[in-house]
């Protein structure tokens, strides 16, 4: 992130997810919200087109931005209840933009639709979503500043979480691979090993930064973790 760029971000973009992926949200008008991404090689699947996970993320964020714009300056937050994505076409380069609009709902549940388009206007995907308005919910103070301090985006991704470690990463005994060393997912994004120094890690080999975990076991990831 360039110096001063964080000051220009919408509140919905002040997150570790935005810092890692590189999307940017904005308000085209007073009725919609949008989220754009300049496609890079890190966003492509094996077929060389934008990965469906990023397509869904952009549509979800476009919906959330539209809802925040619709609600105006009210306290609280918004969370996704469900989202249905229809994949229509692929894109391998250039900027893509997801634009959302609120279509109905009551006080707590809102219905939102969004579409993802390429720079030439080509329709890539559509989505319909249900969001819940959560009153009196505020982001953790200082979490963005903690994310920005981490020098490496992969380290930020491994360390940053706003949920308890029991939710962010399921653990079970592991007697091989990393052995008794692992990451402390409950410590937030401070990029500090728990007990011992370390100089790096390897995603392919499975070795992790050192630091004692409970019961001397390393975390293993459940498919249910988000």
Q: For residues 219 and 114, what is the distance between their CA atoms, to the nearest angstrom?
A: 37
Q: For residues 204 and 4, what is the distance between their CA atoms, to the nearest angstrom?
A: 35
Residues 201-224 have pLDDT tens digits of: 333 334 344 444 444 444 443 344
The token pair that represents 127 in the structure block: 């989505």
What are the backbone dihedrals phi and psi of residue 16, each rounded to the nearest 5 degrees, phi first? -65, -30
Q: What angle do CA 115, 46, 206 make, to 5 degrees?
A: 115
Residues for the chain: how many in total?
226
List, in order, residues 6 or more apart from 35 with CB less than 8 Å away: 23, 24, 25, 26, 58, 59, 61, 62, 65, 97, 98, 100
Coil, helix or strand for 134? strand
226 residues of the chain, pLDDT tens digit each? 333 444 567 777 778 888 889 999 999 998 899 999 999 999 999 999 999 999 999 999 999 999 999 998 776 789 999 999 999 999 999 999 999 999 999 989 999 999 999 999 999 999 999 999 998 766 554 444 444 455 555 444 444 433 343 333 443 444 444 444 444 333 333 333 334 343 343 333 343 444 444 444 444 433 443 4
Q: Are 210 and 198 in contact (CB under 8 A)?
A: yes
Q: Are 83 and 63 in contact (CB under 8 A)?
A: yes
How many Cβ atoms sit within 10 Å of the Cβ of residue 18? 21
Domains defined for the chain, CATH in brackets: 5-134 (3.10.129.10), 144-226 (no CATH)
Q: For residues 76 and 68, what is the distance between their CA atoms, to the nearest angstrom?
A: 10
State the burial class of residue 170 (Cβ atoms within 10 Å of its Cβ: 0-12, 13-18, 19+): middle
């Amino acid at each position: 992130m360039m110096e001063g760029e964080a000051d220009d971000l919408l509140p919905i973009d002040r997150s570790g997810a935005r810092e890692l992926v590189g999307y940017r949200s904005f308000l085209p008008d007073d009725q919609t919200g949008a989220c754009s991404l300049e496609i890079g090689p890190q966003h492509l699947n094996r077929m060389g087109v934008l990965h469906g996970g990023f397509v869904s993320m952009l549509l979800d964020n476009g919906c959330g931005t539209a809802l925040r714009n619709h609600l105006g300056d009210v306290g609280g937050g918004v969370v996704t209840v469900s989202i249905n994505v229809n994949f229509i076409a692929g894109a391998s380069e250039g900027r893509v933009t997801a634009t959302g609009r609120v279509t109905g709902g009551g006080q707590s549940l809102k219905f939102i639709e969004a579409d993802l388009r390429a720079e030439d206007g080509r329709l890539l995907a559509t989505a319909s979503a249900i969001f819940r308005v959560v009153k009196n919910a505020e982001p953790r103070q200082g979490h963005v500043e903690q994310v920005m301090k981490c020098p490496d985006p992969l380290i930020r991704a491994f360390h940053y979480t706003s949920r308890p470690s029991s939710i962010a990463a399921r653990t079970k005994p592991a007697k091989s691979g990393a052995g008794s060393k692992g990451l402390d997912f409950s410590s937030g994004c401070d990029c500090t090993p728990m007990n011992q120094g370390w100089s790096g890690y390897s995603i392919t080999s499975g070795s992790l930064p050192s630091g004692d975990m409970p019961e001397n076991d390393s975390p293993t990831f459940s498919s249910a973790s988000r």
